[in-house]
Structure 1
Amino acid sequence: MPPAPPGRVGEARLARGAVQALPLAATSDEALARAAAAGHPGAAAVVWTRFAPLVRRLLRRTLGPGDEVEDRVQDTFLRFFRSAGELRDPALLQSYIVGIAMRVAREELRRRRLRRWLQLTPTGVLPEAAWSGVDAGARAAVARLYTLLDGVDDRARMLFVLRHIEGLELTEIAAAMDTSLATVKRHLARASQRILAAAQRDPELAAYLEAPGGESAARLGGGA
């Protein structure tokens, strides 16, 4: 069985493991994917070190800041190591991991809707940790953005985040979502028109989203 990523407490040990696996750490995504599928003892540490920041950022920007984000990061990598052998094209390792992260995000959004229905929390979001380093105006704008995103379907939300906040190329999004480029273009155009039009009607959001995909939009998504 391929090794699973460590918990939050073990990240320092993970970093040391990545140093010990230096030849693997310096290899391409394709070779790393093959190593992970084969259960190479150093693959887990390198995959985590290389992709955990991206996954954490994507989940934070898709779900919004909250205590559950780190748990969903763990879920993403656990699922990856269980399914690494199913990756058809090892060169698409990053897209494969992003796709898993988006499925994890979709499941979390569904859980939030259930929590709202059960009235466990007013918004479905579990209590947040302090969001340090972000000014009050930006925090208010982020809250308004996620309120807006709560009003669209999960696919529209994820497409918007991947393109306009994370800045992925359309081909990368298509690979991550396991769908055609034409489908991504069609649904993204519809989602972008709806979300950006609503944001432009909100003065607090308009200032941050005036340049979709740029620095202001990325900052609105919660930073790196």
Structure 2
Amino acid sequence: MSSRNAGEVARVEDAGLTLAAQAGDVSALGLLLERHRAGMRAVAVSVLGPGPDVDDVVQDAALTALRRVGDVRDPEAVGAWLRMIVRNAARSLLRGAAEHRPLDEVRVPAADSGPERWLEHHAMRDWIWEAIEQLTPTLRLPLVLRHFSVGVTSYERLAEACGVPVGTVRSRLSQARAKLALALAATADAPHGDAGRRTRASRIEARETLLAAESGQFGKLLAERWSPEAALVRGNQPVGGRDLLVRGMECDLEAGVRQHLVHAVAGRSLVVWEMDITNPDDDPEHCPPAVAWLMSLDDAGRAHRLRLVHPSPLRADRLLLV
């Protein structure tokens, strides 16, 4: 077979796999990634040079492909599309500003794309979340922050949030991605919860929590909605219970500090609220400019453990709050 014919056959095969992946066949997506992994890796090496960042960028690109495969307009050119994702991620990493669009922010289909595309959009998001819930808490936290949050995406911030060294974060992310692929295959035909509804409800709860705090009802709200054993965690060790949380919030409010929700992530076992912080004019350095609330939930869906991480400041006007 001539090289030209071989190329045509490969493009036809790519098109078939892409269409199957867009229909929700995770094995088809896996085959696509394997077919093009060498090319994706070559692009990463050409931009970054040899090193551990190459594997990270390729793995991140695989997850991006998972959430955005429905965006591919020319299935025969999916290889070029995958290499473009790698190239953009590698260049962003070099700039020190890797762009991790949250996974629940899958691109909204055009208004004229029909109900089938809307169903595909929501089904894909719910399927991803269902698979993530199959991971252990140790692997789930860094994966969710890396790919779902806006501000807590760097390895340094992930290490702070998880209370482990950066090298451990890299290892856990690698394990989490591998296990997520297996979990996606295992949950493809399982019922999936409504991730969008869960996130919308969590966003409302976050705003209600901030309003309760500003009206002096933070302690009452925690007693009603959070676990009786709720605790603030630093590293991996609890440092105080609800009383400490109330005192900390009251002290900040008395100082004139205000928090403003800009992004929310909500799974069945893990919730992330990302806030911008406004400091008083007479004390502009009182608090860092942003904070992320990382909440592990108990079996009843109540906040059980809270970690506070201060990422780079968030820009509400740059976020897509779907």
Q: TM-score, normalised by structure 1?
A: 0.37
Question: In terms of Rg, which structure is larger?
Answer: 2
Identify the structure with the greater helix proportion.
Answer: 1
Q: TM-score, normalised by structure 2?
A: 0.26
Higher RCO, Cα 8 Å, sep 6+: 1
